[in-house]
Structure 1
Amino acid sequence: MTLLKTSCVLLSLALVACSDPASTASKTSPAALPSAPSTAIEVNLSNVHQDIKILASDEFAGRGPLTAGETLTINYLAKQYQDIGLVGAVDGKFMQPVEMAQLTPDQNMTLSIGQLSFNAGSDFTARTQQIQSLIELKDSEVVFVGYGINAPEYQWNDFKDVDVKGKTVVVLVNDPGFATQDDDLFTGNAMTYYGRWTYKYEEAARQGAAAVFIVHETAPAAYPWSVVESSNTGSKYTLIDNNKNASQIPIMGWIDVEAAGEIFQQAGLDYQQLKQRALQPDFTAVPLKAKANLTLRNQLTMAKSHNVVAQLTGSEAPNEYIVISAHWDHFGTNETETGPKIFNGAVDNASGTAATLEIARMMAKMHQHTPFKRSIIFANFTAEETGLIGSEQFASGDILPTKQMVALLNIDGMNVLDAVDYTLQYGKGLSEMEDYLVKAASAQGRSVKMDPRPQNGLFFRSDHFSLAKQGVPSLLFMSLGDTDPDYITHKYHKEEDDYSADWSLGGVKQDIELIVDIAAQLANNGDWPKWKAESDFKARRVQERP
């Protein structure tokens, strides 16, 4: 679980909100809730228990990409899919290679802006996805560009009337809707993709900037500076294109709000006043009357990880695909003075990985009785925790074109406790997949609750988003702190996320049945779910499927 952190490292604070007593799950026994009607095959919870227990065992050493734990994990998954009777979706094989670069920025660096000097880690962070060992920012003019958003559908362009080529841009985190809580501005409290830090870097790169620094404030970011520091000062992974990622922003960074205030003050400007001005659609960029200098050195390592991709081939439309996914990776093992710390990631995301296996078993049996018309793809992605890397590779279309993917159902952490009378929906009014969710949940006697913290933008932080960006309508199934308030505080991304034989798996059973119901419908009904909201995702889908 990215972003993005795009990465799950950035979810920890976002998900704490789910432990709020006001949003605590109402529970009921599994037997009290009817199963989805299209699920003719029973969920075998013994299978699920066994798969989670194995995947989250110390032997698998935390399932770190590029470790012996990866080898054990992907081999286990491939064998399970083969035993189920599925075929490999990568030219008959189960493994999709994911070529990655590991970049580790040297933290012995200083950012100077005018007469000011800032320390790496405590004041700012800087890294790159370009495959270069040395990037130098020399006398780059610094410009404040508001929220750094260019969104035609909202009649908003912070880059109008300014040329930022070769310049260093300073931008605000999140989007104007969150800042104003005005439902008529963007989507109000609910974060849009324009509020995500990934978008800020992408747009600055499109505009030709040399560097971008996002001003960190805890409320709009949804996490404190400590998360920014820990997530951006160590090793990161990235995919590699044919041009060494030259289209990426050369320097992607964050800057602490106090440091940002000093930069504005040096220019004779007031940060708070300009922040308010940036809430207006007629805002224009403001030069900060200084030049930036920074030397970024990287240690580079090239490596290969793997997705595991299996296929149940459709009888009538084998080249149309329903994708069911979950990331297999976690944080591996850290060596400490007191011994190794193994991050087993039982809930996140051995539970989701085990669910894909059980769904595959169930749908394979259903297929034997009455073949599905469309193909079903089961994908377990690598390196989600370090930036949605595996799903980005899958979304590139090198093994399956995205225009042939009907929809994606992605699992990122399951309710391993008792059944509940609701399911959560991430994102609102995005695609017709939400209608499928409501229908299937209702068949189970469950309601659909909206994400209790939409300002944190969880829809943009897990593997399904890699496919959504390519136009594939997607649903996220995530249940972490909403049913176990202790999970986020004491287990999430910690070594305490361990398997327990005492788990009832009532919630797992519910959601497996829910996913099977939706997938089975789509595998037979010929529907191509559409995007509802105007967005780049919708535009991409219309382009691929006019």
Structure 2
Amino acid sequence: MIITWDKLVKNFILASGLGAILSLPAIATPSVMPQLDLTQYRTDVKTLASDAFGGRAPLSEGETLTITYLEQAFKEMGLLPGFGESYLQAVPLAQITADPNMQLDIAGMTFANGSEFTARTQRLVETMTLDNSDVVFVGYGINAPEYQWNDYQGVDVKGKTVIVLVNDPGFATQDPQIFKGNAMTYYGRWTYKYEEAARQGAKAVFIVHETAPAAYGWEVVQNSNTGTKFALVDADRNQDQLGVMGWIQHSVAQKIFAKAGLDFDTVKQQAAQRHFKSMPLKLQAQLSLKNHIERAQSHNVAAILPGSTRPEEVVMMHAHWDHLGTVLENGQPEIINGAVDNASGVAGVLALARYFKQQSLNAPLARSIVFSAFTAEETGLLGAQHFAKHPSVPTHNMVAFLNIDGMNMGQGVDYILRYGEGVSELEQDLALAAKAQGRVVKADPRPQHGLMFRSDHFALAQQGVPGLLFMSLGDTDPDYIAHKYHRGADDYDPNWSLEGVRQDLALMAAILANLANSNNWPRWLEDSDFKAKREQAGRE
């Protein structure tokens, strides 16, 4: 028998006696959380980021340990399962491991996998081949009518290999009249580059890596795109996906363009101008991408704290549970434990769940809160995408989606970061909660990094659900991005003070309490596909 989410909530209300205490005052908006158990928080981070969990890669023993840990924690709290009778949602994934010995050949020049290029595919094929594939340079690889920009105009890339630049022309020019200037748009994200190239019929894409516009070094590209990767699976074995998803080093691009009789850095500057014309390089690429494929189910995890009067209306509190697992570093296996990214966020979700469950015994919330942790964020928000298409609660019933992707493990600060500006009314909730703590809202100091599009809230935004991102990956630890992000050094540190955690969880609790007791539906402020989705659902 299938028990629906609504029925489970109603049964819980009857069994717990909440129906008899609905006249109690709503939970107060907290500015401090004296009940927050940082001892338990520290234990959660230390456990999730331990070598025993193996870097929490999807479809690994680390996944089994992680989802079991989360499921048991939610059960002990007394929260309801988030997916009918289960705390787990199956996410069908393919585990694709490419032959590390592959080589890329362009015009007789051979480049080494990992150190000079990366290549992978999401198609479920044992071999993906580029056989004398024509190479075309398409600038930033952007087709954006609203910005009067189309790098694909007048050039045929069907079945061909394209080379594109990372980020968007606004970053290159720093001109606020071009895209959004220094602030990255979604057109600058690597995910978009691959999606648009597939729509244009290209067979392969190689993005030119440069640290400043990419916002991370080559080591991050290498760790994130070599070894075993994951893909959602459709009925056609992902045949509509791009054939080869690749990156090349800046120095490799220079060699390729020199072979074509061009200076790469000069052409790159030209590509940032509005009337740039993409060009065939009159070179051919060869690559044999051999894959070992296994299909299995990964899992999203979620639990529900039912609301007392409007349980069908839901506020989401989230952090992705996965990280990179084990990768090869200088030929040796190294576990990438992801303590800050994102064991710290998962532990934060657990801490907030425990807090609100305890508070609800005397002051139940009007709306429900779903506490969730999704899989495969690090491979392109795959768990979030699956959840967005197969939600446990209709997306038009989701009030907001709060997302932690790395916490401030050190001392508290007098500000909170805001990612995006003028995007949704949730920015007002953030400002009010910060003010109650005596803090100010600080604009994202690195808008060129495009963090608005790089975590799980984005998958839900595409379905019209507004969100807030809470991330501290380098703002309070300047060494983090340079030496720890997606590297083996992102380990648990017993010397963390966790005062920043205490401070930020209190702020999130204030926002959650306000949203869960409000009648309001936060609106999108700027015109976008997100706003259109929300309007279609009648929530604007």
Q: Tell whether the structures are fold-level matches, with TM greater than 0.5.
A: yes
Change (3 A) 1:91 1:492: same
Question: Which residue of 1 is the match for residue 369 of structure 2?
Answer: 376
Please report how far the alpha carbon of residue 300 of structure 1 lies from its aligned counterpart in structure 2 after TM superposition.
0.9
Please report how far the alpha carbon of residue 55 of structure 1 lies from its aligned counterpart in structure 2 after TM superposition.
3.1
Q: Does 1:256 align with 2:249?
A: yes
Q: Does 1:95 align with 2:85?
A: no
- Per-residue CA shift, 1:38-95, capped at 9, x if unaligned? 7687323233233334434454444343333332322222122122221111112101
Q: Does 1:476 align with 2:469?
A: yes
CA separation in 2, counterparts of 1:544 and 1:163? 38
Question: Which residue of 2 is the match for residue 434 of structure 1?
Answer: 427
CA separation in 2, counterparts of 1:311 and 1:350? 20
- Any conservation in 2 of the 1:100–1:238 contact (CA below 8 Å)? yes
Please report how far the alpha carbon of residue 193 of structure 1 lies from its aligned counterpart in structure 2 after TM superposition.
1.2
Please report how far the alpha carbon of residue 237 of structure 1 lies from its aligned counterpart in structure 2 after TM superposition.
1.1
Structure 1 vs Structure 2: percent identity of aligned residues? Answer: 58
Matches within 5 A, 1:67-216: 67-114=60-107, 116-216=109-209
Question: Which residue of 2 is the match for residue 288 of structure 1?
Answer: 281
Matches within 5 A, 1:447-466: 447-466=440-459
**2:378 alignment partner, one of 385, 407, 412:** 385
- Any conservation in 1 of the 2:224–2:324 contact (CA below 8 Å)? no
Query: Which deviates more from structure 2 when the two are superposed, residues 98-107 or residues 342-351?
Result: 342-351
Please report how far the alpha carbon of residue 128 of structure 1 lies from its aligned counterpart in structure 2 after TM superposition.
0.8
SS at match of 2:361: helix
Please report how far the alpha carbon of residue 250 of structure 1 lies from its aligned counterpart in structure 2 after TM superposition.
1.0
SS at match of 2:290: strand
CA separation in 2, counterparts of 1:497 and 1:121? 21
CA separation in 1, counterparts of 2:43 and 2:134? 58
Question: Which residue of 2 is the match for residue 327 of structure 1?
Answer: 320
SS at match of 1:288: strand
Change (3 A) 1:155 1:542: farther
**1:509 alignment partner, one of 502, 509, 534:** 502
CA separation in 1, counterparts of 2:111 and 2:492? 44
Change (3 A) 1:453 1:362: same
Residue identity matched to 2:474: G
Residue identity matched to 1:447: V
Question: Which residue of 2 is the match for residue 395 of structure 1?
Answer: 388
Please report how far the alpha carbon of residue 444 of structure 1 lies from its aligned counterpart in structure 2 after TM superposition.
0.9
CA separation in 1, counterparts of 2:275 and 2:55? 50
Change (3 A) 1:135 1:313: same
Question: Which residue of 1 is the match for residue 38 of structure 2?
Answer: 45
Q: Does 1:406 align with 2:394?
A: no
Residue identity matched to 1:44: D
Question: Which residue of 1 is the match for residue 309 of structure 2?
Answer: 316
CA separation in 2, counterparts of 1:342 and 1:253? 24
- Any conservation in 2 of the 1:36–1:444 contact (CA below 8 Å)? no
- Per-residue CA shift, 1:435-459, capped at 9, x if unaligned? 2111111111101112222212222
Q: Does 1:359 align with 2:352?
A: yes
CA separation in 2, counterparts of 1:442 and 1:130? 49
SS at match of 1:296: strand
**1:420 alignment partner, one of 410, 413, 433:** 413
Question: Which residue of 2 is the match for residue 467 of structure 1?
Answer: 460
SS at match of 1:52: helix
Change (3 A) 1:114 1:307: same
Q: Does 1:219 align with 2:222?
A: no
- Any conservation in 1 of the 2:223–2:486 contact (CA below 8 Å)? no
Residue identity matched to 2:524: W
Question: Which residue of 1 is the match for residue 5 of structure 2?
Answer: none
Please report how far the alpha carbon of residue 398 of structure 1 lies from its aligned counterpart in structure 2 after TM superposition.
4.3
CA separation in 2, counterparts of 1:173 and 1:497? 25
- Per-residue CA shift, 1:378-400, capped at 9, x if unaligned? 00122333443322222222433
Please report how far the alpha carbon of residue 488 of structure 1 lies from its aligned counterpart in structure 2 after TM superposition.
4.9
- Any conservation in 2 of the 1:102–1:302 contact (CA below 8 Å)? yes
Query: Which deviates more from structure 2 when the two are superposed, residues 436-445 or residues 517-526?
Result: 517-526
- Any conservation in 2 of the 1:52–1:351 contact (CA below 8 Å)? yes
CA separation in 2, counterparts of 1:338 and 1:244? 32
Question: Which residue of 2 is the match for residue 347 of structure 1?
Answer: 340
Query: Which deviates more from structure 2 when the two are superposed, residues 142-151 or residues 46-55?
Result: 46-55
CA separation in 2, counterparts of 1:471 and 1:292? 40
Query: Which deviates more from structure 2 when the two are superposed, residues 513-522 or residues 254-263?
Result: 254-263
Please report how far the alpha carbon of residue 295 of structure 1 lies from its aligned counterpart in structure 2 after TM superposition.
2.3
Question: Which residue of 2 is the match for residue 18 of structure 1?
Answer: none
Change (3 A) 1:339 1:237: closer
CA separation in 2, counterparts of 1:418 and 1:38? 17
Residue identity matched to 2:411: D
Change (3 A) 1:404 1:160: farther
CA separation in 2, counterparts of 1:122 and 1:62? 23
CA separation in 2, counterparts of 1:339 and 1:185? 44
Please report how far the alpha carbon of residue 215 of structure 1 lies from its aligned counterpart in structure 2 after TM superposition.
2.0
Question: Which residue of 1 is the match for residue 10 of structure 2?
Answer: none
Please report how far the alpha carbon of residue 196 of structure 1 lies from its aligned counterpart in structure 2 after TM superposition.
0.9
CA separation in 2, counterparts of 1:337 and 1:271? 29
- Per-residue CA shift, 1:102-134, capped at 9, x if unaligned? 112223334344454444334432211111111
CA separation in 2, counterparts of 1:62 and 1:128? 22
Question: Which residue of 1 is the match for residue 20 of structure 2?
Answer: none
- Any conservation in 1 of the 2:216–2:482 contact (CA below 8 Å)? no
- Any conservation in 2 of the 1:407–1:474 contact (CA below 8 Å)? yes
Change (3 A) 1:350 1:139: closer
Question: Which residue of 2 is the match for residue 5 of structure 1?
Answer: none
Q: How many residue pairs align between the two structures?
A: 512
Question: Which residue of 2 is the match for residue 23 of structure 1?
Answer: none
Change (3 A) 1:256 1:335: closer
Question: Which residue of 2 is the match for residue 298 of structure 1?
Answer: 291
Please report how far the alpha carbon of residue 334 of structure 1 lies from its aligned counterpart in structure 2 after TM superposition.
6.9
Q: Which structure is higher in RCO with an 8 Å CA cutoff and minimum separation 6?
A: 1
Query: Which deviates more from structure 2 when the two are superposed, residues 192-201 or residues 345-354?
Result: 345-354
Change (3 A) 1:504 1:117: closer
Query: Which deviates more from structure 2 when the two are superposed, residues 76-85 or residues 220-229?
Result: 220-229
Question: Which residue of 1 is the match for residue 14 of structure 2?
Answer: none
Question: Which residue of 2 is the match for residue 232 of structure 1?
Answer: 225
- Any conservation in 2 of the 1:41–1:362 contact (CA below 8 Å)? no
In structure 2, stretches of 5+ residues that fail to align are: 1-27
Change (3 A) 1:490 1:92: same
In structure 1, stretches of 5+ residues that fail to align are: 1-34
SS at match of 1:164: coil
TM-score for the superposition, normalised by structure 1: 0.85
- Any conservation in 2 of the 1:41–1:366 contact (CA below 8 Å)? no
Residue identity matched to 2:347: A
